[in-house]
Amino acid sequence: MVRRFAFAVPGDLATPTGGYAYDRRMIAELERLGWQVDVVDLGDGFPWPSDQTRARAWGRLSDIPPGRTIVIDGLAFGVLPEAVLQLRVENPLIALVHHPLALEAGLSMQQANILRSCERAALTAARLVIANSAETARHLTSDYAVAADRIAIACPGTDLAPMAQGSSDGIVRLISVGALVPRKGFDVLVAALATLAELPWHLTIAGDAGRDRGTAARLAADIAGLNLTDRVTVTGAVPPEWLSELYTSADAFVLASRFEGYGMAFSEAIARGLPVVGTTAGAIPETVPKGAGLLVPPDDAAALAAALRQVIEHPGERQRMAGAARAAAHSLPTWQDSAKLFARAIEAVA
């Protein structure tokens, strides 16, 4: 018997974000487990699709044969309530939620309310919801009325990677990885670092600068206005080989996220044995092992600066945290483990 399902994604599967990376890798691992995965492109513009994109998405979803299980990425699922309520009549539906749409930073209250209402309605059509963390699952239960027995958790996996070697020139090299969007808190990060100008550090930010050009422009202006042009490098999205080199040469990882449904960049840093400086937002405390990082409240530049000072000024503290990260690296879930959990969820509704 052929195990087959459709995986509907909003736009280009190669988009360089954590959510799309999760989708790509999960598809590849499920295919290795013997599944046939029919990838369906729902079009661009989500979670604010045009009427034309909505119509095209519905056409592609309705072309899927009746009875076939459909997994729909939450970036699209949450804003297609009318379509999924029709689709569920003939197809078992699974919503894959990376994080609730209304929790994206930078939204107006009206936008957040629209997204919350749409996603709540859409999730009633899902036979099962796959969440990427226990934190996301808690939000779905408490804020979206999804019963706990309708939720399966399949955390992102992490590949084993070479341990970071760090710098050798006396400059503490910080790496931050994430798309240039408000939720990642790069404005808070550069504001914090600006108060540590007397310390020897250099920050590299690697992440897609094309998703929110306004945020990217404001970050560039902040860096220039704070006289950090020579001390902060913004690379844009980089290929895996380059990112690996950046991790290898780094002394610490830092990301000032305002919310994370999981935080794949944090686990990738832990896999490299890097000390972590982050926030307590969302699932980050679940993702960063005890002793491997310093976590502060989101949007608190002073607290972030204090944590960064501790890491930059004290090599012994960095070494202690790096040791904890290295010890935890081998206990991180693998992508193979995650794919098996994902497969069980599909089998449960097929």
Q: Where are the domains of the chain?
A: 3-157+334-349, 172-329
Taking the C-alpha atoms of residue 16 and residue 236, their distance in angstroms, rounded to an integer, is 10
What is the dotted CATH code of the domain comprising 3-157+334-349? 3.40.50.2000
Taking the C-alpha atoms of residue 320 and residue 82, their distance in angstroms, rounded to an integer, is 53
pLDDT value of residue 108: 97
Share of the chain above pLDDT 70, in %: 100
Give the tens place of pLDDT for each residue, 252-297: 999 999 999 999 999 999 999 999 999 999 999 999 999 999 999 9
Taking the C-alpha atoms of residue 63 and residue 5, their distance in angstroms, rounded to an integer, is 13
In the numeric block, which tokens belong to residue 128?
A: 């099962």
Residue 224 has pLDDT above 70, yes or no: yes
> Same topology for domains 3-157+334-349 and 172-329, yes or no?
yes
pLDDT value of residue 57: 97
Q: What is the mean pLDDT of residues 94-114?
A: 97
Residue 2 pLDDT class (50, 70, 90 cuts):
confident
Q: What is the mean pLDDT of the chain?
A: 96
The answer to whether the pTM exceeds 0.85 is: yes
pLDDT value of residue 79: 98
Please give the class, per CATH, of domain 172-329: alpha beta
pLDDT value of residue 338: 97
Task: Let me know: does 19 contact 75? Beta carbons within 8 Å.
Answer: yes
Give the tens place of pLDDT for each residue, 163-185: 999 999 999 999 999 999 999 99
Residue bearing the bigger pLDDT, 73 or 1: 73
Residue 160 pLDDT class (50, 70, 90 cuts):
confident
Residue 24 has pLDDT above 70, yes or no: yes
Distance of CA 46 to the CA centre of its chain: 16
Taking the C-alpha atoms of residue 177 and residue 190, their distance in angstroms, rounded to an integer, is 14
Give the burial string for 155-192 (b: 16+ CB within 10 Å, else e): bbbbeebeebebeeeeebbbbbbbbbbbbbbbbbbbbb
Residue 234 pLDDT class (50, 70, 90 cuts):
very high
